[in-house]
Each structure stands twice: as structure tokens, then as C-alpha cells.
Structure 1
């Protein structure tokens, strides 16, 4: 694949086909875990790691898997990788592991992971497949992190709350208190706040995409010659 094609894969995962705000896949963990930056980013990075490894694992054996049993084989490989990630978090980030709870093993059933394996890894080689999984996972992580930040700020008036669960007791001083003596806004940290925050992110992304499209059309229209005439550059 060319460098341009690799750039397209990154662009698709991060923006054009972002699984969180464009494809709207994996909404259950996205809405349930995104109550803070740390929770959202942690689950997003765990999912990105599983997606990268699963795509990279399935791509080299795609031609040896019988078509009739491909989905069970994909799920089995994904389940093994999720189990490894789950045990690593249990061993080294137990506090965060407890907070994320059931949503770590549920990565196995996350439609984002299986969708990328089926749509991309089963048809491409290892390098682009791994990049596709990483890009899609990173796009989801970005949405989870931003949504978690929005909800944490409005809900608690802080950022990076709970970071000690991931990085140890020494990271407690990293918590940023943006609004001193903030009483909290309950709606932001409840499920309705997650839906509202996600809707705002989708609207913002659509507005930016529409604005960029209009600018592109405007630029092309401004330099296009009038039909039946000649371009300004032809007058010398």
C-alpha cells in the first residue's frame, strides 16, 4: 500500500468513519464508562489495543480460515486477546479494573472490534490491518476521552479524577480542580448527560465536516473557468 492509502486509513478511523460519532458503534460502553477522562481513556485504549492485535492476528491467517466458521474463529481470537488485557489490568491496575468492571470483558462482544476484523482484516495484509484497528480504536478513545472530560467538568468540576487508579498513588496530585467548591451537576454524570454530550459531539463533528465541504466546493468554484469562456489565466 502507498503512503496515501495509510493516511486514508488514519483519517477514516479518526474522523471520516469514527466509530463513536459517525458509525455509532459500541454505544453501551461509550455511554456507560465515559463519566470521567480516566475511565473513558482507559477503556478506549484497552479497546484500541485489542483491535490492533486482533486485526494483526487475523490478517495473516485470513486465507486459511474456512468461510463457514470465520465468525467463531474471529470471536475466539478476540476473546483470547481481551482475556490477556483483562488479566494485565487486574495485575497492574486493580483499582481501575474494578471501576471498569464488566465493560472490559465485554470488549469481546463490542461490535466495533468484530466489524473491523470482518470488514478490513479479513481482506488485507498485516500492516494496513493493524493500522486500521489502531486508528479505529484511537478514534473511539478520542471520543471517550472528550466525552468523559465534558461530563467530568460539568459533573464534578475536575479533570483527571481517579488517575491514581491507573498510575498509582503518586498521581493523585495530577487531578485538576477547575471549579473550587463546586457542588456538582448530577445530570452530567447520569446516563442522560452521556446522551446529551454524545449528541453535542456528533453535531459538532457534522458541522465541521459540512463547513470543510462547503469551503472545498467554494474554492473549486472560484477557480473554475466559466463555461463557454476562458479562464482568467489565459488573458496575458
Structure 2
């Protein structure tokens, strides 16, 4: 693949085809695990690891997987990778594992990994498939972290609270208290807050895309 193709993969994963803000996939963990930036970051990274590994394996075996059984095989591969991540987090990130709980196994039923396996990994070589899974997962991580950060700041007045407990002592430096505790808006860390923040961020991204498109059109018109 050309360098421009790899740049497209990166841009699609992080922005243009962001799983949450563009395709609106993976809404279950998005709504449930974004009560804080720390939870969103942890859930996003777990999903990113599963997506990268699953995409690579599907691309490696793409010529051996028949059309009739491809979906069960994809689910089996994703389930195997989720099991590895689940056991790894239980062993080395146990506090975060307890917080994420059932939502780690539920990555298997997340529409985003399966959608990318079907749309991209099954048709590409291992390297671009791995990069697509990785950057789609990182885009998902960024979306969950941003949503969690907005909800946490408005709802609790903190940012990355308990990051050192959940992610490790080295994350102590990113823990911040931005507002007094009594200024928090409780609704933001309750389910309605997830829908409100996600909806506003989706609208904001669409407006930025429209503005960028108009700038490109204007630049093209001036060039002519």
C-alpha cells in the first residue's frame, strides 16, 4: 500500500470514520463506561487491543475462511482475543478490571470490531488490517475518553479521578480537581448525561467537518 493509503487508514480511524462520532457504533459501552475519563480510557484501550489483534488474525487467514462461515469465525476470533485481554487485565490491572466488569466480555458483541473485520480486515493484507483495527480502536478510545472527561468535569468537578488506582501509580500526575465538589451536576454522571454529551459531541464533529469542507471548496475555487 502507498503511504497515502496508510494516512487514510489513520485519519479514518481517528476522525473521518470514528466508531462513535461518525458511525455511532459501540453505544452500549459508550453510554455505560464514560462516567469518568479513566473508565472511558480503560474500556477504549481494551477494545483497541482486541480490534488490532482480531483484524490481524482475520487478514492472515482471510483466504482460508469461506464466505458461509465467516461471521462465526470472526466472532470466535474476537472472543479469543477478548478472553486474552480479560485474563490479562484481571492479572495486571485488577482494580480497573473490577470497574469495567461485564463490559470486557461484551466486547465480543460490540458492533464496531465485527464491522471492521467484515468491511476491511477480510479484504486486506495483515499490515493494513492491523493498522485499521489499531486506529479504529484508538479512535474509539479517544471518543470514550473525551465523553468521559466532559461528563466527569461537569458532574464531579474532577478529571481522571482514581487513575492511579485503576491504571497504575504512574498515572497519578494526570489526576485533577477542577471544580468544587458541590458544583457538580449529578445528571451528567447518570445515564441521561451520556446521551446528552455524546449527542452534542456528534453535532460538534459534524459542524467541524462541514466547516472544513467549505474551506476546501473555497481554496479550490480560489486556485481556479
TM-score, with structure 1 as normaliser: 0.91
Give the equivalent residue in structure 2 for 1:38: 38
Give the equivalent residue in structure 1 for 2:217: 217
Structure 1 gap segments, 5+ residues each? 225-236
Following superposition, the deviation at residue 166 of structure 1 comes to 2.5
CA contact (8 A) 1:34 1:151 kept: yes
1:34-77 residue CA offsets vs partner (Å, 9 max, x unmatched): 01011001000110010000000110111111211111111111
CA contact (8 A) 1:37 1:148 kept: yes
1:81-129 residue CA offsets vs partner (Å, 9 max, x unmatched): 1001001111111111111111000001111001111111110000000
1:1-236 to structure 2, matched below 5 A, reads: 1-168=1-168, 171-172=171-172, 174-224=174-224
CA contact (8 A) 1:51 1:137 kept: yes
Distance 2:211 2:113 in 1: 31
CA contact (8 A) 1:93 1:165 kept: no
Distance 1:120 1:130 in 2: 10
Give the equivalent residue in structure 2 for 1:228: none
Structure 2 gap segments, 5+ residues each? none
Distance 2:222 2:173 in 1: 54
Following superposition, the deviation at residue 135 of structure 1 comes to 1.1
Following superposition, the deviation at residue 149 of structure 1 comes to 0.3
| Greater Cα radius of gyration, structure 1 or 2 | 1
Distance 1:121 1:221 in 2: 37
Q: Greater CA deviation, 80-89 or 214-223?
A: 214-223
Distance 2:27 2:208 in 1: 22
1:138-166 residue CA offsets vs partner (Å, 9 max, x unmatched): 11111100000000000110011121233
CA contact (8 A) 1:163 1:174 kept: yes
Following superposition, the deviation at residue 78 of structure 1 comes to 0.7
TM-score, with structure 2 as normaliser: 0.96
CA contact (8 A) 1:151 1:194 kept: yes
Is the alpha carbon distance of 1:122 and 1:188 closer, same or farther for their aligned partners in structure 2, counting shifts above 3 Å? same
1:182-222 residue CA offsets vs partner (Å, 9 max, x unmatched): 34211100111111100111111011111111111111112
